[in-house]
Amino acid sequence: MGKEIFQRAEALLGTEAMERISEQRVIIFGTGGVGSWCAEALVRTGVRLLTIVDFDCVDVTNINRQLMATTQTVGQPKVEALRKRLLEINPDAEITALQKTFSEETADEFDLDKYDYIIDAIDSLKDKALLILKACETEARLFSSMGAALKLDSTKIQVAEFWKVKGDPLARALRNRFKKEKTFPRHKFQCVYSDEAGQKPTANSQQLAKGSLVHITATFGMTLAGLIIQDIRRLVLLLVLMMTLGIHAQNTDQKRQDIDLDSPTFVPTVKVGKVLENGDSIQYMEMNNVYVYPPITFSSKKQQQAYNRLVKNVKIVLPIAKEARAIMMETAEFLETLPDKKARDAHMKLVEKSIMKEYKPRMKKLTYSQGKLLIKLIYRESNSSGYELIQAFLGPVRAGFYQAFAWAFGASLKKKYDPEGIDRLTERVVLMVEAGQI
């Protein structure tokens, strides 16, 4: 069957998006009433590289809400029962099933850095808080499920940034824990939650007081999956829109030189010449700047891996940022030759129409972290934020729209590049790459 499985998804999302979806590495912690449905939705939409984590076995009480829980799977490890189900949907998927818990004792066993997306569907407050902190130390995108128990009204389910979640006891408990311990997630992340007041359980048993229903837990899981799919599409589109700043239409007679992204990023420039000095011919050599920095001391292997990823990402993204700068300068000069605003607007409309064909193949190869780095390096090369560039070329209304669009998946076009502050390590890598030293 192969690609035929995903024909309907491809009809809506497009071929490029489906290719990107199939390349993303996703890990789901917790495969209960929320995580199991999230896993199914992802695999049915084309996610092929999926890791599922849960220490528990299927219990008869799980049957009312957990995807893989049936009378035939009671007693089986949840991750193994779910893996079997997912492979029946797509036999070509690579499903890694880990029957273990994520906790303070086991956290180091998980290499979170290798994933593009992390889904938190953990129930335990302590373990959930730890996963959030650890996930936010990586470049992966984190989406978290808040409390789905004791809910009846699926129309109350919504999405918000963690610190803006209201009416959810689990989110409140997590925030209180972070404040008490004075340890906070390093960046913002989106949560699925319901602000419905918890229903009063009819049973006296503490176990039954955790009552939950499949139409609630499944909606939580499906929403988490939807956040990932939308995020993948947003990144490609945002990067394409960023490049709109500099692409000129095909009727432009100006020429530009393409940069081969598969070639070495930069090589040292050497100029050899000679001068006459007191009748003697003296040869000389001019070279690039050579940058000397104190050696970096890594406190852990994980820190060294993060640095290596930064070097790799700079080498991938920096040529695009430099190309964008050259194109923006050419475009700005061309726009100045047009007689009036009407002609300039007409030209920019042609630009926007041609951008998808020319730059989409490049942009879809970038990861989430590379996309955010590109936005910063465009600022470095142009000395203007992405928001300012879009505002100058396309106007404040569309600049505001693109900023809101970027903010929806954790990026910001208004962020500036700070080579002496938060971006000083990036600047060091950029300078050394430009000089051909790394």
H helix or E strand, kind and range, residue 119: strand 117-120
- pLDDT-based confidence at residue 201 (cuts at 50, 70, 90): low
Q: Is the pLDDT of residue 69 over 70?
A: yes
**Residue 434: what pLDDT?**
85
Q: Is the pLDDT of residue 252 over 70?
A: no
| Alpha-carbon torsion (347, 352, 353, 359), positive or negative | positive
**Residue 233: what pLDDT?**
75
Q: Is the pLDDT of residue 22 over 80?
A: yes
**Residue 352: what pLDDT?**
59
- pLDDT-based confidence at residue 198 (cuts at 50, 70, 90): confident
Q: What pTM does this model have?
A: 0.68
Measured CA to CA in angstroms, residue 313 lies from 43, 234, 317, 318, 373 at distances of 28, 20, 6, 8, 8
Using left for φ > 0, alpha for ψ between -120 and 50, and beta otherwise, residue 30 falls in left
Q: Which residue has the higher pLDDT, 409 or 237?
A: 237
Query: Rounded to whole angstroms, how far apart are CA atoms 377 and 318?
Result: 7
**Residue 292: what pLDDT?**
86
Q: Is the pLDDT of residue 397 over 50?
A: no
pLDDT tens readout for residues 107-136: 999 999 899 999 999 999 999 999 999 999
Average confidence (pLDDT) over 393-420: 56
In which residue are the tokens 């726009």 written? 335
**Residue 232: what pLDDT?**
82
Q: Is the pLDDT of residue 401 over 50?
A: no
pLDDT tens readout for residues 290-326: 788 888 888 888 788 889 989 999 998 888 888 777 6
Q: Is the pLDDT of residue 68 over 90?
A: yes
**Residue 351: what pLDDT?**
62
